[in-house]
Amino acid sequence: MAQQIADRRDVDFVLHEQLDVAQFSANEKFEEFNRKTIDLVVSEARNLAIKEILPTQKIADEEGCRFENGQVTVPEPFHRLYDLFCEGEWLATSEDPQWGGQGMPRTVAMACADYFNGANYAFMMYPGLTHGAGKLVEAFGTDEQKKLFLKNMFTGKWTGTMLLTEPGAGSDVGALETTAVKNEDGTYSISGNKIFISSGEHDLVENIIHPVLARIEGAPAGTKGISLFIVPKIWVNPDGSLGEPNDVVCTGIEEKMGIHGNSTCSLTLGGKGKCRGLLLGEENKGMRAMFLMMNEARLLVGMQGFCCSSASYLNALDYARQRLQGKNLLQMMDKSAPSVPIIQHPDVRRMLLTMKAYVSGMRSLLYYVGFCEDMKHLTDDEAMADKYQGLIEVLTPIAKGYVTDRAFDLCNLGMQVYGGYGYIREYPQEQLMRDCRITQIYEGTNGIQAMDLLGRKLGMKKGKPVMDLFGEIQAVIAQAKKVESLQAAAEKVEKALNKLGEIAMHMGATAMSPKVLAAFAHAYPFMEVSGDVVMAWMLLWRAVVADEKIKTAKKKDQDFYDGQFKQLDFFVQSILPTTLGKIEAIRNTCEAAIEISDEAFGGK
């Protein structure tokens, strides 16, 4: 039974029918990316994913990474695969060709990432983190730093990481203890320890570029005193040649539940007093700079989780069509009735439709965030650019937090469809579930994403980005109301949107009141209901498009478009009522979680 990754018909639907990305070719920046070129790019990404990346998924999981004498060895197939990936110039698909990128729209790059991460996202973490680190150099580096590092990173000659987490600080980055002392030559001596560093040490390339957060001596406490530094594994001379090793030592790798193919390292900086770094950006402005990479990383994590669920769904669907077990429920009393594919059983169909609805909504959401990024850069209207940036920022905690939570739920369902076979390693479902689980934790736990949504995004710019988002949702609702067959669903989505608006105001006011702790005890449920409404919006939008397309569709597309209506009906009738109930629970603002004493939790 062939393993699945992503549904090409659905990818094309989002790109061309929902978002119409070929429209970008009217702009000089993307003039070469017409529909034919876009389809060719996606086809090439799909071929690489299926033929080369996917076969490494199980091998890398079983082989894992090895740590010996300070050196880390990645799974053997990754070496050839990494070379192929870089030869195809896939690492920086949406970046400037001047620095080794392909200059394609971000939305199209999202479709490529859909296939790549679905095939083996443990491998994709190596180029993914490199891209994020490169963006930091591009945004905040001096001309000399860009010349030294950027092209080597965007072409994959060198890789990159992100060094934030420390043993004593965890998610509280402001409590970091890594220090930086300025030297006479303008470099800084770096000293400290970092943990949970994805791709922190490996044997894929000759050099690894570490963006490192550290505190310069005498800097303010907390996040206000943090600076960002470029710390190469091997020092890079002014002429671009490699110098001496830079006293960056891997002290171990983590044995993890999943993503075994990626090296998660503990690193010691300056253990021998010989670690040097270059200031990246301004002193004490490191966190602001790092948020650029963190926001991109959070969207990448959303894609990682989503891709696990997409693959799990397609595997489960294929399995359900082939697995013969039990009689059709309507023929239970007929002793001569044959066994039927389990897709005929109502509860299996319920699980599959649940998976289909969420996978569809999540794909649309993630691509839409990429679409907003493209629109932001294409418009000459500053107000419109601000609007798109606001939409990106409001949707980021949902695209990371909500999406990865639902993705894990779907991987669980994908395992359930297989029954006992889903639990054993002969089939891919258990690995997808294990690999998916970390996406709810790293790049800011999903509780932190919820706090970000409530504490920062809800009141950002006096609430304008949130109101812009509501306006985009309302515009689709208005379109749907013009379609007779979608009016009932549109009214349900509108009711949920209005209730979300009410509870958003309630949460905002409560967060500014003496009940602030109670408000944040409900931040996570608030993110959940916000995500549900965003899913409903995406599914309604899809149905509006399908209604127009089905009128002239060829027979082979009729079922696809009908699926858009059915998943919308299922979501608004089976999921949204629960959402409304959660909203009422949030409105109660129960303070039990705050009022209970530490001792009353028990456990002693």
Of 212, 261, 257, nearest in space to 232 by CA: 212
Whats the size of the chain, residue-wise?
Answer: 604
DSSP 3-state of 397: helix
Q: Is 484 a catalytic residue?
A: no
Helix (H) or strand (E) holding 214: strand 208-216
Q: Which two tokens stand for residue 420?
A: 């006992």
Judged by phi (left if over 0) then psi (alpha if -120 to 50, else beta), residue 414 lies in alpha
Q: What is the largest CA-CA distance in the chain?
A: 89
CA dihedral 401, 403, 409, 414 (to 10 degrees): -150
Q: Which two tokens stand for residue 307?
A: 């891709």
Task: Judge whether 104 and 34 are in contact, CB under 8 Å.
Answer: no
Q: Where are the beta strands (DSSP E) in 338-377?
A: none
Residue type, 548: E
Distances (CA, A) of 419 to 234, 416, 424, 429, 522: 50, 5, 10, 10, 35
Q: Return d(Cα 528, Cα 579) in angstroms, integer.
A: 8
Q: Which two tokens stand for residue 219?
A: 């800097």
Alpha helices in 379-445 (DSSP H): 382-397, 403-418, 429-437
* Cross-strand pairs, 215: 179, 226
Task: Judge whether 54 and 31 are in contact, CB under 8 Å.
Answer: no
Task: Judge whether 22 and 105 are in contact, CB under 8 Å.
Answer: no
CA dihedral 433, 435, 440, 445 (to 10 degrees): 150
Q: Which residue is catalytic, options 95, 138, 373, 443?
A: 443
Of 122, 165, 127, 128, nearest in space to 434 by CA: 122
Task: Judge whether 263 and 65 are in contact, CB under 8 Å.
Answer: yes
b (16+ CB within 10 A) / e for 253-270: bbebebbbbbbbbbbbbb
Q: Which residue bears the tokens 């419109």?
A: 384
Residues annotated as part of the active site = 443
